[in-house]
């Protein structure tokens, strides 16, 4: 396919609008809006992917089946915590420090 053939092709956006009566284009538009909002809110990168699969239709030469899927990576807040490693286990208590209170004292009862 030469460059002149590409110039004669329908624009990508027009083809996208034609898939499933415009539903794929609408879905991608909504996903992009969600990503932009989340990127502004969380100041992290996001993305929208539109995957187009084209395959020949068996027994029907000259036609192809076009399948599309939209996905989005929407950034969110980080959920972090600091833990100590004690014997291969994660712990919120520093193993090098002596505990000020025992668990029963904190809960207000005895063993």
The reported pTM is: 0.67
**pLDDT higher at 110 or 61:** 61
Counted residue by residue, the chain has a size of 111
**pLDDT score at 111:** 52
Q: How far apart are CA 9 and CA 14, in angstroms?
A: 10
Q: How far apart are CA 70 and CA 75, in angstroms?
A: 16
Longest dimension (CA), the chain: 86
Q: Domain extents for the chain?
A: 3-107
| Those residues with Cβ within 8 angstroms of residue 90's Cβ, 6 or more apart along the chain or in another chain | 83, 84
- pLDDT per residue as tens digits for the range 45-89: 999 999 999 999 988 888 999 999 999 999 999 999 999 998 889
């Amino acid at each position: 396919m030469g460059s002149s053939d590409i110039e004669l092709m329908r624009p990508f956006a027009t083809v996208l609008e034609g898939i499933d009566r415009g539903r794929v284009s609408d879905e991608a538009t909504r996903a992009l809006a969600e990503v932009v909002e989340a990127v502004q809110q969380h100041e992290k990168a996001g993305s929208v992917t539109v995957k187009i699969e084209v395959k020949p239709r068996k027994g029907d030469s000259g036609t192809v089946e076009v399948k599309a899927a939209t996905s989005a990576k929407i950034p969110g807040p980080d959920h972090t915590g600091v833990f100590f490693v004690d014997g291969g286990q994660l712990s919120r208590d520093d193993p090098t420090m002596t505990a000020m209170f025992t668990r029963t004292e904190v809960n207000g009862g005895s063993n």
